[in-house]
């Protein structure tokens, strides 16, 4: 009986223990399910899944003719799963010590990835199942990394395909295009302006892990898919841009200048055909350059324009009927305004001035005294009001980031010397794009246009969703005033200070400018100048307008010496390449001379020279001797080379010489007579 009682007590105690355990389990389950479920769910997901976020490829950027400027290419990106980074050789080779693969991997990969070993080791020791190590690697780097991983059997390191931005012309139009950071956000240029249009949709994937911790990635995660995206066509002409970039590079080397800017614009539509800024950078390797090189001087540099502003002031005077091209001015070489004495630019050797001269000669020879007299007649209010009409003191509205407004003082804050100096292009600060736009108003008959650089945006289905078009802001001067000003600017090139901008056979209109460089803390920097030239061709019916600005050239610093020759050489190449015929035979060979030269060439029975394309992609040059300029330009273009012509007529000399091997994009100089 006692045994049965004891047994019952034992069973009751045991049942009680079991009941307590059961209740504890139930309570624990309730706690886990109701109160701690969120934390455990996340922990579970971290153990079996990892989120992968990637950007899809961006849309293309092309020039006006559809030539690709920026595209997205597929590249390898490296990521790590720290949980997997354990020695996989353990158990296979028991005699060898267990490796610290995190340390080994960090030490081996650091020099290849251009990262510190400690930075990599910390990354390999982090928590999580998916961490980026290096994204969008160059193919050579990716291959080297793959070899290191394979040769050393490093676990936990994997590759995914990702999209990388590639700029096909390297540094050409870098400031217009901008660049894309590793986060796929556009920086600068069109990449920034149209970032939302160009960006591919963000894609998210889950990487799955099995019970042993191994990854089970689907193929659609491993391989990035190219999608149909928007394409952006710019107004830029790649051929013009090539010529412009060459000219700027050559100018910087020759003048050792601090910077430079050049723009080519269609004066009748406002389309930007070429735009170049120095210093520059390669957007494919933007991280290797100082952020200062990313600045687009054509729209962001503020400077006093100097004498290139004089045609605009002259238009003010004619619009107000204060002058005509024949109005007589007295030039004594200097003029006194209040406590300020203003000299002509050539006062060191022209002490007495030119005496009585018509206003057309004031423009032709850039006479400061005549412009000061006109400025004083106009007065502060008319000077500033007309300047606003011409678009100064506000951005032009071009579709590029970082555009500055310039500086235009209020009329009520100006004293007489301020009025006098503004008439000669001092006391007002402008950007290159503002000056060119104002000169285009003279070229096109008086219309102030809004410059634009986006020609059209095309949707994936081919529909044009946005198209750039001519936009007239206002009529600033009459057609008659513009015509008279064009004639005076043509005289500047034909017989005045801009003679070095003349191109034989073409009517060129333009104006030189030289101004002291503004100091950051006010005043001017000693012996530092900004040279410029602005003009258009042909003078009567302009096809192209162009501005060249050189910041702080060493040695020669006048616009006529530094910038006018760049204007001439650049537009000469463009006119030839575009097949624009000269409208005058002055300075060119006569028809009889051309016939004789052609007959002489024909007698030799020399075949038309041809470029030889070599297997390695390089090009062997033919002998261009006896070939006319247009034919030579056509042959050069076939090899995607650039031609820098000298003179006119038929080729007699070339550099590099015939038989030389060159690569795409190089410049071939050819002399004609």
Please indicate, yes or no, whether residues 321 and 452 belong to a single structural domain of this protein: yes
Please indicate, yes or no, whether residues 615 and 566 belong to a single structural domain of this protein: no
DSSP annotation of 236 reads: -
How far apart (Å, rounded) are the C-alpha atoms in residues 208 and 326? Answer: 86
How far apart (Å, rounded) are the C-alpha atoms in residues 125 and 102? Answer: 7
Please indicate, yes or no, whether residues 222 and 247 belong to a single structural domain of this protein: no
5 falls within a domain: no
pLDDT of residue 270: 97
Residue-by-residue DSSP string for 257-270: -SEEEEEEE-TTT-
Peptide bond into 538 cis (omega under 30): yes
Q: Which domain holds residue 645?
A: 591-672
Please indicate, yes or no, whether residues 224 and 272 belong to a single structural domain of this protein: no
41 falls within a domain: no
Token pair, residue 529, equals: 């100048």
Please indicate, yes or no, whether residues 175 and 290 belong to a single structural domain of this protein: no
Please indicate, yes or no, whether residues 461 and 517 belong to a single structural domain of this protein: yes
Please indicate, yes or no, whether residues 225 and 245 belong to a single structural domain of this protein: no
CA atoms within 13 A on the CB side of 501: 37
pLDDT of residue 216: 52
Q: Biggest alpha carbon distance in the chain?
A: 147
CATH of the domain at 653: 3.30.10.20
Domain count, the chain: 3
CATH of the domain at 127: 3.90.1310.10
Please indicate, yes or no, whether residues 212 and 352 belong to a single structural domain of this protein: no
* Final residue in a domain of this structure, among 234, 265, 295: 234
pLDDT of residue 585: 56
Q: Determine contact, residues 492/364, Cβ cutoff 8 Å.
A: yes
pLDDT of residue 463: 93
Residue-by-residue DSSP string for 323-351: --TT-EEEE-SEEEETTEEEE-TTTTT-T
Whole-number Cα distances in Å, 439 to 204, 416, 498, 504, 534: 52, 26, 16, 23, 8
Query: Which residues of the chain fall short of a pLDDT of 70?
Result: 1-11, 24, 26, 28, 30-55, 88-97, 200-228, 347-351, 584-607, 648
Element (H, E) at 133: strand 131-137
Please indicate, yes or no, whether residues 317 and 181 belong to a single structural domain of this protein: no
Please indicate, yes or no, whether residues 558 and 605 belong to a single structural domain of this protein: no
Phi-psi region of 509 (alpha: psi -120 to 50; beta: other; left: phi over 0): beta
Whole-number Cα distances in Å, 222 to 124, 208, 240: 21, 12, 42
19 falls within a domain: no
* Final residue in a domain of this structure, among 522, 549, 577: 577
pLDDT of residue 601: 43
How far apart (Å, rounded) are the C-alpha atoms in residues 594 and 599? Answer: 8
Please indicate, yes or no, whether residues 457 and 347 belong to a single structural domain of this protein: yes
34 falls within a domain: no
């Amino acid at each position: 009986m006692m045994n049965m009682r004891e047994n019952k007590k034992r069973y009751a105690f045991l049942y009680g223990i079991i009941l307590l355990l059961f209740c504890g389990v139930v309570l624990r389950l309730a706690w886990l399910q109701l109160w701690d479920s969120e934390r455990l769910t996340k922990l579970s997901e971290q153990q079996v899944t990892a989120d992968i976020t990637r950007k899809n490829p961006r849309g293309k950027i092309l020039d006006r003719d559809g030539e690709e400027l920026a595209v997205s290419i597929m590249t390898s990106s490296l990521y790590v799963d720290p949980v997997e980074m354990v020695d996989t050789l353990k158990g296979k080779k028991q005699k060898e010590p267990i490796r610290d693969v995190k340390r080994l991997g960090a030490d081996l990969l650091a020099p290849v990835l251009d990262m510190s070993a400690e930075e990599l080791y910390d990354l390999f020791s982090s928590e999580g199942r998916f961490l980026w190590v290096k994204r969008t690697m160059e193919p050579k780097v990716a291959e080297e990394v793959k070899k290191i991983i394979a040769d050393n059997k490093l676990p936990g390191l994997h590759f995914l395909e990702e999209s990388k931005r590639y700029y096909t012309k390297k540094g050409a139009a870098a400031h217009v295009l901008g660049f894309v950071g590793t986060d796929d956000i556009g920086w600068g240029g069109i990449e920034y302006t149209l970032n939302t249009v160009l960006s591919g949709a963000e894609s998210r994937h889950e990487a799955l892990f099995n019970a042993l911790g191994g990854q089970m990635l689907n193929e659609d995660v491993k391989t990035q898919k190219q999608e149909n995206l928007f394409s952006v066509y710019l107004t830029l002409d790649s051929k013009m841009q090539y010529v412009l970039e060459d000219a700027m590079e050559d100018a910087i080397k020759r003048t050792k200048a601090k910077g430079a800017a050049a723009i080519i614009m269609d004066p009748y539509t406002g389309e930007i055909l070429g735009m170049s800024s120095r210093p520059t950078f390669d957007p494919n390797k933007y991280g290797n350059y100082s952020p200062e090189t990313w600045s687009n001087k054509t729209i962001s540099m503020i400077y006093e324009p100097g004498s290139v502003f004089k045609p605009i002031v002259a238009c003010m005077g004619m619009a107000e009927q204060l002058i005509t091209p024949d109005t007589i001015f007295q030039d004594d070489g200097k003029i006194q305004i209040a406590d300020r004495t203003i000299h002509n630019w050539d006062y060191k050797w022209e002490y007495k001035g030119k005496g009585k001269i018509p206003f057309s000669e004031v423009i032709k020879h850039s006479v400061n005294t005549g412009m000061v007299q006109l400025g004083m007649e106009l007065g502060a209010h008319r000077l500033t009001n007309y300047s606003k009409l011409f678009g100064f003191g506000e951005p032009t509205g071009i579709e590029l980031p970082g555009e500055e407004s310039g500086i235009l003082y209020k009329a009520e804050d100006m004293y007489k010397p301020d009025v006098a100096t503004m008439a000669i292009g001092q006391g007002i600060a402008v950007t290159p794009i503002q000056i060119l736009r104002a000169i285009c108003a003279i070229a096109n008959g008086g219309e102030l246009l809004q410059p634009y650089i986006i020609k059209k945006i095309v949707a994936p289905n081919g529909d044009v969703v946005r198209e750039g078009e001519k936009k007239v802001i206002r009529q600033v001067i009459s057609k008659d005033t513009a015509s008279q000003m064009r004639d005076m600017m043509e005289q500047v090139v034909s017989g005045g200070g801009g003679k070095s901008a003349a191109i034989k056979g073409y009517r060129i209109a333009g104006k030189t400018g030289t101004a002291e460089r503004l100091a950051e803390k006010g005043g001017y920097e000693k012996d530092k100048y900004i040279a410029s030239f602005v003009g258009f061709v042909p003078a009567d019916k302009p096809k192209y307008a162009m501005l060249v600005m050189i910041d702080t050239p060493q040695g020669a610093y006048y616009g006529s010496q530094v910038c006018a020759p760049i204007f001439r050489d650049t537009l000469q190449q463009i006119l030839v390449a575009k097949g624009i015929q000269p409208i005058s035979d002055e300075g060119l060979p006569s028809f009889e001379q051309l016939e004789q030269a052609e007959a002489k060439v024909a007698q030799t029975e020399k075949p038309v020279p041809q470029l030889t394309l070599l297997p390695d992609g390089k090009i062997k040059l033919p002998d261009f001797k006896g070939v006319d300029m247009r034919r030579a330009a056509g042959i050069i273009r076939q090899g995607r080379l650039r031609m820098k012509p000298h003179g006119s007529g038929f080729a007699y000399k070339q550099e590099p010489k015939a038989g030389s091997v060159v690569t795409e994009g190089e410049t071939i100089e050819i002399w004609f007579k």
